[in-house]
Structure 1
């Protein structure tokens, strides 16, 4: 294991990350909110940490192998989540505990959107901007940005890309060079963010809210600058903008890249995962709409459709934006939306959850097993579109599902053991492992009242969800550390 090379890379990345403290400081300077000092100090702290890690190891330049790739990904998210907590720790406006600062930082960077903070409307603009910015960087994955930068510094990136890219199939690249792939993804990501910010502005938000909410929308994060989330704006136009860009961000970014290159919508229409994703969204919205309409929860059909559309899409894509207390909705709707988050977005999107492609493949496998019961000697292949799915992919999907279920049960039992009641423990585990944010029970609004031990467990759940379980679990196997 090339530990000096790993320290060198981490030093470079933390040094780069220190630059992200500058925009919040400038925001503070513009609004004169007094919150800029914390970010100025955080900039120098992160810069010193990065340089101290890089300087002694600056000549340790070797190619990364698969093992180092997985380790650097885990270390990267852990270290950045840690240094990202520095402004929260030293800010005089917050005065929160170490556990709360780490929770907020990891929640932002992993795009979970769970928060321990309340009174957001009264916080300095710098703090609010920083929270949104964390989600924006975490949305596509700062690792992908690093893959575009590190080759220029003499560090290969293919191992990082394979360890970070979500979904069951990780070997395909959109361009021959991995740096070009990462750059294309970031161009698309940035373009969508600008378009979303403009749409929010024309829908009625001020520029600050529009930019901040575009960060968390494209990242499918869910942080807001207001305690009432999108409900603060009470605007159907704002809700529509949110839904449209959540759906766009929930699609595999490889399809967006294909559209940019070919200027043809055929890639979207032919993709079986996208068709399934849209079908799930339509079914959820219709079901929520009909139940809410039947129970006369809202006083008009338009209002009912608006609320059903926003909550259904937001929860199922794992964004977690809300405009109302959906936990008070009738019948099974709160539980339904919580379970919808298990599916999440498409592979290669900024959404969390198990991913639509895995759920689709497990469904096809279930259908195949039913057919085999009727015709035991028949040979059935699983196909996505016209292409057969290799058995190794199916094995990986079922292995992921088993590992996911095991991690879910262990974390949930751990939360119950720390004193959380069962419904809150279940929903908190689901919300953090799926990178969703809001839960049920005592975590429906925020996580500030959760026991300290539970917060640390939930941070681990966020990492498992962001790294899609296997990337973190592989470090716990003895084989990984053998030479």
Structure 2
């Protein structure tokens, strides 16, 4: 591993991150909320630290290797989340300690949406904006944004992109150059954000709320400026707009790019993962609608849009709520929680295990059944018309097995820490899937859990955001051998 090169790049990225404190400072000055000094302090500390990392290693230049990419991504997300906690820690929030600030920062940047803050409506506007901005930056992955900038600094970026991009197949590029790929992704991301903000504003949100909620909607984050989340607006139109943009943001962004370039919807109709994504969402919506209407939880029309909204919100791992879904009748809350395990499509801003992995697991299961019937047949797993290499199938099984082991270990630690089983299970699921709201004591927020649980769930968020192996590989002795 090229240590000096890695430290130099982390220093550059931390210096770039320090300038993201400028928008919250501007918001603070505009609303005169008195929190601007917290962001100024965080900006100075981040800028100085980044400079101290960069300057002694400024002449260290070399082509990045795969190991370097993994280290940079993990270090940057960890360091970034820690420095991102500074303005939150300095803010005047009741009963807010270091663990709370770090948890909130990790939750924002990993687009988890789990919060330890109650009384959002009384917080300074700049703090509310900053939380939403963290999610927006984390949504597509700050590393992908940095990849578009690093080539200008003489640093190759493909290794970073492969380590950051979610999903089992990571070598496809939308454009010949990786910088072009990153720029294409961000133009789509920015376009969706602007369209979402304008739609919210036209539906009745204030400009401040429209901008903030567009950040967390397109990022599949789920942070809100109100304790009641989207339910605060009491508007079916806003819920419908939110549902549409969450559904779009849960789709592989490469499909959006190809569809835009071809001015056609055929890329969507031909993609097996997209079809599975829509099928799963439609199936869970139907079950939720029947359950809500049959038990008279809501009337007919409310049952439709509440079922649509929460199915998409939980299914894409956004985590917005317009009602207390944890109190829904029967199996519905648990069904929605299990839906978050599937999550969005690979290459989207959604969390979870990803639709494509579940699709491949299903196809592999069907292949094993066929082998029992025809033991000598040569059967291949296909995704559409493409025959997938065995290494992809092995990677999917490896990911799933590792996910289960880590999930169980963290679940046991939380239960040993005194958390009840329902709360512990849903908390680990919500954080590893980057969902946010859980069941039991974490249905509303995570303020009542212990500091140990908060630190552990920060790790769960990071595992989920970086898809386990990117972080886990750094813990193996073989990675550090020369």
- TM-score when normalising by structure 2: 0.99
- Superposed, 1:377-388 pairs within 5 Å as 377-388=376-387
Corresponding residue SS for 1:121: helix
User: Which residue does 2:78 correspond to in 1?
Assistant: 78
Kindly report which structure 2 residues correspond to 1:200-219, keeping only aligned pairs within 5 A, or say none: 200-219=200-219
**Are 1:35 and 1:93, in contact at CA under 8 Å, matched by a contact in 2?**
no
State the distance in 1 between where 2:238 and 2:35 align: 28
Equivalent residue, structure 2, for 1:436: 435
- 2:301 is aligned with 1:302: yes
- CA-to-aligned-CA distance 1:86-115 (integer Å, 9 cap, x gap): 001112345610000000000000000000
Aligned to 2:249: 249
CA contact (8 A) 1:15 1:50 kept: yes
Does the aligned pair in 2 maintain the 1:169–1:393 contact within 8 Å? yes
Runs of 5+ unmatched residues, structure 1: none
Give 1:238 shift: 0.4
Summarize the alignment of residues 64-463 of structure 1 with structure 2, pairs less than 5 Å apart: 64-93=64-93, 96-298=96-298, 300-463=299-462
Structure 1 segment 23-102 matched on structure 2, within 5 A:
23-93=23-93, 96-102=96-102
1 CA distance for matches of 2:91 and 2:437?
A: 25
> 2: CA distance between counterparts of 1:257 and 1:378?
39
The separation in 2 between residues aligned to 1:61 and 1:33, in whole angstroms, is: 44
Shift of 1:265: 1.1
Write the deviation string for residues 280-320 of structure 1: whole angstroms up to 9, x where unpaired: 1111111100111000011x211111111111110011000
Three-state SS of the structure 2 residue aligned to 1:191 is helix
CA contact (8 A) 1:224 1:230 kept: yes
Greater shift after overlay, 428-437 or 259-268? 259-268
1:14–1:50 Cα contact (<8 Å) kept:
yes
Structure 1 equivalent of residue 9 of structure 2: 9
**In structure 1, the residue corresponding to 2:210 is in which secondary structure?**
helix
The alignment partner of 2:458 has SS state of helix
Query: Shift of the alpha carbon at 1:34?
Result: 1.3
Distance 2:249 2:360 in 1: 21
Q: Give the superposition deviation at 1:393.
A: 0.5
1:24 positional shift: 0.6
Kept after mapping to 2: 8 A contact 1:93/1:124: no
For residues 136-160 of structure 1, what are the alpha-carbon distances to aligned partners after superposition, in whole Å with 9 as ceiling and x for unaligned? 0000000000111111101110100
Taking the aligned partners of 1:223 and 1:122, their CA distance within structure 2 comes to 15
* TM-score, normalising length: structure 1: 0.99
Deviation at 1:171, TM superposition (A): 1.2
Structure 1 residue 477: Cα displacement? 1.1
Distance 1:74 1:95 in 2: 30
Task: Say whether the 8 Å CA contact 1:88–1:94 is kept in structure 2.
Answer: no
Kindly tell me the number of residue pairs found equivalent between the two proteins.
Answer: 482
Q: Distance in 1 between matches of 2:358 and 2:385?
A: 18
Residue-by-residue CA offset, 1:116-151 (whole Å, 9 max, x unaligned)? 000000000000000000000000000000111111
Contact 1:110 1:462 (8 Å CA) reproduced: yes
1:201, CA displacement in angstroms? 0.5
Q: Could you say what secondary structure the match of 1:101 adopts?
A: helix
CA distance in 2, matches of 1:462, 1:83: 17
| Alpha-carbon separation, structure 2, partners of 1:318 and 1:103 | 18
Question: Where in structure 1 do 4 or more consecutive aligned residues deviate above 2 Å?
Answer: 92-95
CA distance in 1, matches of 2:315, 2:32: 38
Aligned CA-pair RMSD: 0.8
Judge which range, 247-256 or 57-66, deviates more.
57-66
